[in-house]
Chains A and B, each alone.
Chain A
Amino acid sequence: MSNSINIGNVVKKYGELTIIPNLSVQIKNGEFFTLLGPSGCGKTTLLRMIAGFNSIEGGEIKFDDMIINNISAHKRNIGMVFQNYAIFPHLTVRQNVEYGLKIRKIPKAEMKKKVDEILETVKISDYQDRLPEKLSGGQQQRVALARAIVIHPSVLLMDEPLSNLDAKLRVEMRSAIRDAQKKVGITTVYVTHDQEEALAISDRIAVMNQGVIQQVGTPEEIYARPNNVFVSTFIGHSNLFYGKVGRDSNSTYVEFTNGYKILLDNLSQDCKAGMKVIISVRPEEFSIANDGLKVKIKNRTFLGKHTNYELDFSDSMIIPNQPSIEYSQDLGQSTKTYEAGEMLSLKPNAYKINVFTEDGQKSLIKGCD
């Protein structure tokens, strides 16, 4: 049966090098939980610690209430899908799926029923007698998934399972994985560096960077109210501006360096008047309005659903070293498009934008601390 995973203060070291300094997170029974982060952030390391392929240098990992630190991988009852699928090349599709059941000494008849069922679920019954090398990447992926699920593991672990597939297949497979997971109702830990994939597939996401969890939340929470600048720029695009907090008798606002002000009623108590902050505005959180920020268009890119304008703000207004400052115009709603060189007047949406401390480490929006 499926169970929760409780990770408490775990530490991972390779010799002197600390990969994960101190990490705690609770993964609920039956949920689809994603570890998301740039490469080298420690997400795969953490997954392999849960699997039992990496040692744990400190803290503990529990399946429900049972500490599994010292249980070897083959006794943890996990199902794992590998980045390169790790299909046994000398066994047919069916034999691959049967492998774990044979080890569990499942009676023949029952094994046949289980295998038939799972092959049907992941839609590979037609290929069951083929050797893996005759299969496409997507089909191999399905075999890997079937092989991991059929043993009814306590937890299902997936290490970037879609990264070797092309874009279209990736979208198709991610719903296949999601469907299969919901059907079996199994606790799943999924590792990816692809934020779109993470947003689409997960119940909850943990964003990781340099071995530290930056934020845990639903895809909506993480996108709308990121905890810090790292999360806000890693998930989707965010334009970062210098700003400072201001207070009137009955209102609070943030002020850009050129004096433009936005009234905000959701700033946290920590905000003092005059405090320097970072204002984070997503490209779609701008709208064209007369009382907006005046800015020249540097460049534009037509993308079908919308048009992206690269904006030419002065260096004194924006945080340095950003890839670009963008406004994304929703073409379904607008009647006029603009050319490079034209001036725009853009108004940030006060209900959507985020404000962070000057060092970018903390959100100053109410309820995000």
Chain B
Amino acid sequence: MEKKKHFKVDFWFVITLVIVIVFALFLVYPLFSLFANGFKDADTQTFTMNNFLKFFQKKYYYRTLWHSFLVTTCTTILAVGIGAPLAYFTTVYKVKCKGLIDILIILSMLSPPFIGAYSWIVLGGRSGVITKFFASTFGIETPSVYGFGGILLVLTLKLYPYIYLYTKGALKKVDASLGEAAESLGCSSVRKVATIILPLITPTILAGSLLVFMNALADFGTPMLIGEGYTVMPVLIYNEFISELGGKANFAAALAVILVIITGIMFLAQKYVVNKKSFTMSSLRPIQAKRLRGGKNILLHIGIFIVVFLSIIPQVTVIYTSFKVTKGSMFAKGFSLKSYQSIFGDLGKPILNTYKFGLIAIISIILLAMFIAYITTRKKSWLTNIIDSITMFPYIIPGSVLGITLLLAFNKKPMLLSGTAVIMIIAFVVRRLPYTLRSSAAILYQISPSMEEAGISLGDSPLKTFFKVTAVMMLPGVMSGAILSWITIINELSASVILYTGNTKTMSVAIYTEVIRASYGTAAALASILTLTTIISLLIFFKISGKKEISI
């Protein structure tokens, strides 16, 4: 008797259904309404292409696309130019304080980019410390930190760590014998790098640069703070959305659609590169770091320390200035704890909100990720395949777009969520689920299904076995992604800044609004707490996992 394959109604089927509903409600439906809104006329609500035509006809609008491309491309090139050589040299040569360097680089990657923008304004802005110093001592005018150059500086220093970590990972997989084989065939060391090492890590660098490209393209905080007249797409979307609010957000939606299409293409390109061009390498004997001697060694260290110093400047500035006496928007001589007093008084709520929303979001993420990873790898069906594809969406939706999307979808009854904490948490979960999901799926592939079968064969129910065996074994992998989700949740700005209200303000939003109001002292104090939270989270993770690195 041949039976048609039906879905068995069991625990996993229920879970699958729940996830489908969650995704349909909070991802597919909002995105659909975004697209629908983009093609609607603001007044008549009928189908039209006018929103798109308006964008491409007015220079004021379409130049932002050009700005975005320019700044993003330059950032990517610079990030590769810094990150890849840094990774190569720290792998091949012995470098002092390697552990510290890695942690500082990871830290600069994980703190919100607008902290970078803010610090560089404090240092090199119109009334910045460096600007004033050069003006009063030498009478020299330092180059402006605002506009294109400023965005480029901040984004590069924030994003090169991606390339660094990616390249480092790839170099770890290159077996030392490959380089030795080349040498044994008569190859000089420069040629060895060009013909063997570089081709082997190129796919990884390419994948990393596409990631940097998407991140730079989607970033909102940096260009908003330091860009001034140099408007990029996310800033334009935000401005249009804010100014249209009250009216209809159709033009902003159309802009968001354009951005999503671009990031979607970039995402597909990245997937293609990773799948097609990567080599399966496993190294039994990774490349051993050699000690450089004399002048070369000193040069190497100077170069590395300069890069690391530049990337950690924002954190140092923020923490230093948080203890300064402030007079209005200016920092004055002397130290005080006033900034901290004021944030624990008036601004205590955002701190509490950040941890509260963050914890709820991260718990939801861990549960969702484990279940989704399980059903998409172990319970394959057309339904779970669809779920698998939908989980890619968050990769291509920039934060500001997600904010708009959720607002458009949930601003009327029966699904009135705008202004609530729920919508903030939804945004966090949707944006940061992929990190945990990816690491959960990765570890699940390494756990043999026979582990579970063993549990069942000994008389445990499949469900109990999942929680007692599989889930426990998954935990290390899940956590390595969850740490990233957590840190990026507490630093989230671009979606929150659209979704927040006075009651649901988080720390990063508070920093942003304080900077806009030029209350640099309180902004610095808040940013210090955020940075401290990030550092402590990382240290706890390193302690528990026994590792000194994170996987991105």
Min Cβ gap A79→B in Å is 7
Q: A86-B175, A90-B279 are in contact. Are A74 and B187 (CB under 8 A)?
A: yes
Most buried by B among A99, A133, A147: A99
Q: How far is the CA of A133 from the CA of B184 in the complex (A)?
A: 22
CB atoms of B184 and A103 under 8 A apart = no
Q: A89-B200, A90-B200, A133-B279 are in contact. Are A103 and B186 (CB under 8 A)?
A: yes
Complex partner residue of B280 from A99, A133, A148, CB under 8 angstroms: A133
Q: How far is the CA of A99 from the CA of B192 in the complex (A)?
A: 11
CB atoms of B186 and A77 under 8 A apart = yes
CB atoms of A79 and B184 under 8 A apart = yes
Q: How far is the CA of A83 from the CA of B188 in the complex (A)?
A: 22
Q: Does B183 lie at the interface of the complex (its beta carbon under 8 Å from any beta carbon of A)? A: yes
Q: Does B180 lie at the interface of the complex (its beta carbon under 8 Å from any beta carbon of A)? A: yes
Q: How far is the CA of A90 from the CA of B182 in the complex (A)?
A: 13
Q: Which B271-288 residues have a C-beta within 8 angstroms of A?
A: 279-281, 284-285
Complex partner residue of A88 from B178, B183, B184, B285, CB under 8 angstroms: B178
Q: Which B169-187 residues have a C-beta within 8 angstroms of A?
A: 175, 177-178, 180-187
Q: How far is the CA of A100 from the CA of B350 in the complex (A)?
A: 64
CB atoms of B181 and A88 under 8 A apart = yes
Min Cβ gap B310→A in Å is 34
Most buried by B among A77, A86, A103: A86
Return the CB mask of A68-95 against B: 1 if under 8 Å, else 0.
0000111101111011101011100000
Return the CB mask of B178-208 against A: 1 if under 8 Å, else 0.
1011111111110100011001100000000
Q: A84-B175, A133-B279 are in contact. Are A90 and B186 (CB under 8 A)?
A: no
Closest to A77 in B: B186
Q: A86-B175, A103-B187 are in contact. Are A80 and B199 (CB under 8 A)?
A: no
Min Cβ gap A209→B in Å is 23
Q: Does A151 lie at the interface of the complex (its beta carbon under 8 Å from any beta carbon of B)? A: yes
Q: Which A153-203 residues have a C-beta within 8 angstroms of B?
A: 157
Min Cβ gap B141→A in Å is 50
Closest to A96 in B: B181
A108 / chain B contacts, CB cutoff of 8 Å: none
CB atoms of A100 and B185 under 8 A apart = yes
Q: How far is the CA of A53 from the CA of B181 in the complex (A)?
A: 10
B181 / chain A contacts, CB cutoff of 8 Å: 80, 82, 86, 88, 147
Q: Which B339-365 residues have a C-beta within 8 angstroms of A?
A: none
**Count: A-B pairs, CB below 8 Å:** 72
Closest to A131 in B: B279
CB atoms of B178 and A80 under 8 A apart = no
Which A-B residue pairs are the 3 nearest by beta carbons? A100-B185, A86-B177, A80-B184
CB atoms of A74 and B177 under 8 A apart = no
Min Cβ gap A345→B in Å is 52
Q: How far is the CA of A72 from the CA of B196 in the complex (A)?
A: 18
Min Cβ gap A188→B in Å is 14
Q: Does A118 lie at the interface of the complex (its beta carbon under 8 Å from any beta carbon of B)? A: no
Query: 9 A-B Cβ contacts within 8 A?
Result: A51-B180, A73-B180, A74-B184, A86-B175, A88-B182, A100-B186, A103-B191, A104-B186, A133-B280
Secondary structure dominating the interface of B: helix
Q: How far is the CA of A104 from the CA of B180 in the complex (A)?
A: 17
Q: How far is the CA of A80 from the CA of B183 in the complex (A)?
A: 10
Min Cβ gap A154→B in Å is 11
Q: How far is the CA of A51 from the CA of B279 in the complex (A)?
A: 27
CB atoms of B188 and A74 under 8 A apart = yes
Complex partner residue of B180 from A86, A89, A90, A99, CB under 8 angstroms: A86
Complex partner residue of A89 from B183, B185, B281, CB under 8 angstroms: B281
B280 / chain A contacts, CB cutoff of 8 Å: 89, 133
Closest to A104 in B: B186
CB atoms of B279 and A73 under 8 A apart = no
B281 / chain A contacts, CB cutoff of 8 Å: 89
Q: How far is the CA of A52 from the CA of B181 in the complex (A)?
A: 12
Q: How far is the CA of A89 from the CA of B19 in the complex (A)?
A: 40
A147 / chain B contacts, CB cutoff of 8 Å: 181, 185
Complex partner residue of B184 from A78, A89, A90, A104, CB under 8 angstroms: A78
Min Cβ gap A81→B in Å is 9
Q: A84-B177, A89-B200 are in contact. Are A99 and B182 (CB under 8 A)?
A: yes
Other A-B pairs beyond A74-B183, A86-B177, A99-B195, 17, CB < 8 Å = A73-B180, A74-B184, A80-B184, A83-B177, A83-B284, A84-B175, A84-B284, A86-B175, A88-B178, A88-B181, A89-B279, A89-B281, A90-B199, A99-B185, A103-B186, A103-B191, A147-B181
Most buried by B among A74, A79, A83: A74
Chain A: residues with Cβ within 8 Å of the partner, total of 27
Return the CB mask of A118-158 against B: 1 if under 8 Å, else 0.
00000000000000010000000000000110010000010
Q: How far is the CA of A140 from the CA of B39 in the complex (A)?
A: 57
A53 / chain B contacts, CB cutoff of 8 Å: 180, 183
Complex partner residue of B196 from A79, A82, A88, A157, CB under 8 angstroms: A88
Min Cβ gap A224→B in Å is 36
A74 / chain B contacts, CB cutoff of 8 Å: 182-189
Most buried by A among B175, B185, B284: B185
B279 / chain A contacts, CB cutoff of 8 Å: 89-90, 133
CB atoms of A82 and B180 under 8 A apart = yes
A51 / chain B contacts, CB cutoff of 8 Å: 180, 184
Q: How far is the CA of A77 from the CA of B183 in the complex (A)?
A: 9
Q: Which B282-333 residues have a C-beta within 8 angstroms of A?
A: 284-285
A86 / chain B contacts, CB cutoff of 8 Å: 175, 177-178, 180-181
Q: A89-B280, A103-B191 are in contact. Are A73 and B183 (CB under 8 A)?
A: yes
Q: A86-B175, A89-B281 are in contact. Are A80 and B180 (CB under 8 A)?
A: yes
CB atoms of B199 and A73 under 8 A apart = no
Closest to A153 in B: B184
Closest to A103 in B: B186
Closest to A79 in B: B184
CB atoms of A73 and B196 under 8 A apart = no
Return the CB mask of B502-522 against A: 1 if under 8 Å, else 0.
000000000000000000000
Min Cβ gap B202→A in Å is 8
Closest to B280 in A: A133
CB atoms of A151 and B200 under 8 A apart = no
Q: How far is the CA of A261 from the CA of B165 in the complex (A)?
A: 73
Complex partner residue of B185 from A52, A90, A151, CB under 8 angstroms: A151
Q: Which A195-241 residues have a C-beta within 8 angstroms of B?
A: none
A157 / chain B contacts, CB cutoff of 8 Å: 184
Q: How far is the CA of A257 from the CA of B280 in the complex (A)?
A: 61
Closest to B174 in A: A89
B189 / chain A contacts, CB cutoff of 8 Å: 74
B195 / chain A contacts, CB cutoff of 8 Å: 99
Closest to B192 in A: A74
A72 / chain B contacts, CB cutoff of 8 Å: 183
Min Cβ gap A12→B in Å is 16
Q: Which A45-83 residues have a C-beta within 8 angstroms of B?
A: 51-53, 72-75, 77-80, 82-83
Q: How far is the CA of A84 from the CA of B180 in the complex (A)?
A: 12
A77 / chain B contacts, CB cutoff of 8 Å: 186
A84 / chain B contacts, CB cutoff of 8 Å: 175, 177, 284-285
Q: A82-B177, A88-B196 are in contact. Are A73 and B284 (CB under 8 A)?
A: no
B184 / chain A contacts, CB cutoff of 8 Å: 51, 73-74, 78-80, 148, 157
Return the CB mask of B190-230 against A: 1 if under 8 Å, else 0.
01000110011000000000000000000000000000000
Q: How far is the CA of A202 from the CA of B231 in the complex (A)?
A: 74
Q: How far is the CA of A157 from the CA of B183 in the complex (A)?
A: 13
B175 / chain A contacts, CB cutoff of 8 Å: 84, 86
Closest to B201 in A: A90
Closest to B195 in A: A99
A78 / chain B contacts, CB cutoff of 8 Å: 184
A90 / chain B contacts, CB cutoff of 8 Å: 199-200, 279
